[in-house]
Amino acid sequence: MGGTEMPAAKKHPTTRARRNTASTASTLRPADTVQIPALPPRPVVFTEDGAMKAGDWHEATLDWWADLWASPMAAEYHSSDRHALFLLAVLIDDFWREPSTKLASEIRLQRVAFGLTPYDRRRLEWTIETADEAKERGQARRAAPRANRQPPAGTDPRLALVQ
């Protein structure tokens, strides 16, 4: 057994069992039609004397909620995701009221599923369309021939039916 053996030929790509393609891969575009769900009433908070009361959402939480639903990722969320996002909003709200490393850690764990950081989007194989890509896509769409364009003057398209 010398070093003269030939390596086995690779299988044709169509016969391979595993193609290493991700079902979540997509290019995210700004979503104009996403409905921003209203945050439910803020869950109970405790006052300094230990009494429970309904609270208002912290301003930073409201800003985060608006940013979340204005992001390109919002179009990827299913209606069932709202419940987990509501829970994440409570964690974020609690963090802004009384920051702690424990809350920051839990927020980090919970936001992974929603592609809220560049690393999470990379793991999900989501890319955000850049302004240049959107501009190029629009130019290509405008330059493409359209079926409803007028025929050249002097020709009658109905003649194509009888010729």
pLDDT 10s digit of each residue in the chain, 163 long?
Answer: 556 777 777 777 666 666 555 566 667 766 666 778 889 888 776 667 777 666 789 999 999 999 998 888 888 888 889 999 999 999 999 999 999 999 999 999 999 888 888 888 888 888 877 766 556 666 666 666 655 556 667 777 777 777 6
Residue 69 lies in a domain: yes
Q: What does the angle CA 94 – CA 76 – CA 35 come to, to the nearest 5 degrees? A: 70
Contacts of residue 64, Cβ cutoff 8 Å, sequence gap at least 6? 89, 92
Residue 71 lies in a domain: yes
The number of folded domains in the chain is 1
Domain of 103 in residue numbering reads as 57-128
pLDDT value, residue 84 = 94
pLDDT value, residue 123 = 85
pTM: 0.60
Residue 78 lies in a domain: yes
For strands 26-28 and 126-128, give the pairing.
parallel
Residue 152 lies in a domain: no
Residue 91 lies in a domain: yes
pLDDT value, residue 150 = 62
Q: How many whole angstroms separate alpha carbon 113 and alpha carbon 77?
A: 10
Residue 163 lies in a domain: no
pLDDT value, residue 107 = 95
Single out the residue of 47, 124, 59 nearest to residue 92, CA to CA: 59
Q: How many whole angstroms separate alpha carbon 128 and alpha carbon 134?
A: 10
Residue 86 lies in a domain: yes
Residue 74 lies in a domain: yes
Helix (H) or strand (E) holding 86: helix 81-97
pLDDT value, residue 102 = 96
